Amino acid sequence: MTIIKNILATSAEALYILLRKDFTDYINNKLDSNLSIDFEHVYDVINVLFPEVIEGIALTITVTNDEITVSDNAKNSGYNTELLEKYLINFITDKCS
């Protein structure tokens, strides 16, 4: 689990929109890949799914007024979720802090 200070007071809704708009291109450019990424948003939680390579929810983002928490739900998937988590954290840090 990684905690990021929510300096700009980004809401879960605003982060969800930003992720849907820009994160897929961001991570595909970083990895030189063509991953399909899905997002689910309910209240203050955003789930990130990589359906082509990981079954189920890979990463979960929880947004509060003070912080954004990223949790890796697929550590035992056989795929390098640490790398996906790293790029997600970098993206959120660049855009929201």
Q: What is the pTM of this model?
A: 0.89
Q: What is the dihedral of CA 6, 7, 9, 12, to 10 degrees?
A: -30
Q: Would you say residue 14 has pLDDT above 70?
A: yes
Which pairs from 29-37 meet CB under 8 Å and 24+ separation? 30/87, 31/83, 31/87
Tokens describing residue 41: 């948003």
Task: Please answer whether residues 24 and 38 qualify as being in contact, where contact means their C-beta atoms are separated by less than 8 angstroms.
Answer: no
Domain total in the chain: 1
How far is residue 86's CA from residue 17's CA, in Å, rounded to a whole number? 20
Task: Please answer whether residues 53 and 81 qualify as being in contact, where contact means their C-beta atoms are separated by less than 8 angstroms.
Answer: no
pLDDT at site 2: 62
- Structural domain including 34 reads 2-96
Q: Would you say residue 6 has pLDDT above 60?
A: no
For 27-42, the pLDDT digits (tens) are: 999 999 999 999 999 9
Predicted confidence band of residue 79 (pLDDT cuts 50, 70, 90)? confident
